[in-house]
Chain A
Amino acid sequence: NAGVMQNPRHLVRRRGQEARLRCSPMKGHSHVYWYRQLPEEGLKFMVYLQKENIIDESGMPKERFSAEFPKEGPSILRIQQVVRGDSAAYFCASSPQGTGSYEQYFGPGTRLTVT
């Protein structure tokens, strides 16, 4: 049973470019979460999605960041006009049902470097 898959694993973008991060949840999981880990910091929640719905985006920056989880295909985290401060590890997690007592399982992450 494949775990959570993320790609690319490493992404380098120049300031002002767009970054697209992809996440495929574990088989049987319909809930996806995105977290960001800045250097030397803890993980911070960004957004929680189910298929075709954003359930909680309280952790998303107000500008330049968006997320989707279409009916078909992976979840996408999109960062427009990247800045150096966006350099971080972005982790996707999935769970079989919404977080309540359900554990979340994490993918290997995408390390974004903005030059």
Chain B
Amino acid sequence: RKEVEQDPGPFNVPEGATVAFNCTYSNSASQSFFWYRQDCRKEPKLLMSVYSSGNEDGRFTAQLNRASQYISLLIRDSKLSDSATYLCVVNNQAGTALIFGKGTTLSVSS
């Protein structure tokens, strides 16, 4: 089983749509969880940390289910500028590194 698994997509949605990404992780000892965004040929940029209680930042909502080892990201009212690859990230058991999923590609069209 891969350490972090994501549906690669692509997700093709119109502007204004709501889209949800899911992610599962294999190591129950992971303590930190993040969503990063990566534009083509650019560096990953932190979108948001994910907390057990769930957290929201504007149009973005992240959820964590530790029992199911499942992380989600919801994007409401999609914008053209949201087109990117979204990376689900957890820390390793030692807490010394981040483990990245391969990413889910989102394309928002007008």
On A, residues with C-beta under 8 Å from B are: 33, 35, 41-45, 48, 55-56, 58-59, 89, 91, 93, 98-109, 111
The answer to whether B95 touches A98, judged by C-beta atoms less than 8 angstroms apart, is yes
Bound: A100/B96 CA distance, A: 7
Q: Which residues of A contact B97 (CB under 8 A)?
A: 33, 45, 48, 56, 58-59, 99
Instruction: Mark the stretch among B13-21, B61-69, B98-106 that contacts chain A.
Output: B98-106
The proximity string for B residues 80-110 relative to A, scoring 1 for CB distances below 8 Å and 0 otherwise, is 0000000100011011111111110000000
The answer to whether A100 touches B31, judged by C-beta atoms less than 8 angstroms apart, is yes
Bound: A43/B102 CA distance, A: 7
How many chain B residues touch A (Cβ–Cβ < 8 Å)? 23
Lowest 8 A-B CB distances belong to which pairs? A45-B97, A56-B96, A42-B102, A106-B43, A43-B100, A42-B100, A100-B95, A48-B96
On B, residues with C-beta under 8 Å from A are: 31-32, 34, 41-46, 49, 87, 91-92, 94-103
Q: Tell which of B31, B87, B96, B101 touches A101, judged by Cβ atoms closer than 8 Å.
A: B31
The answer to whether B99 touches A45, judged by C-beta atoms less than 8 angstroms apart, is yes
Q: A42-B101, A91-B43 are in contact. Are A100 and B32 (CB under 8 A)?
A: yes
State how many angstroms separate the Cβ of B84 from the closest Cβ of chain A: 14
Q: List the A residue with the shortest CB-CB distance to B92.
A: A45
Q: Which residues of B contact A56 (CB under 8 A)?
A: 94, 96-97
State how many angstroms separate the Cβ of A22 from the closest Cβ of chain B: 15
Q: A42-B101, A103-B46 are in contact. Are A55 and B34 (CB under 8 A)?
A: no
Q: Which residues of B contact A111 (CB under 8 A)?
A: 41
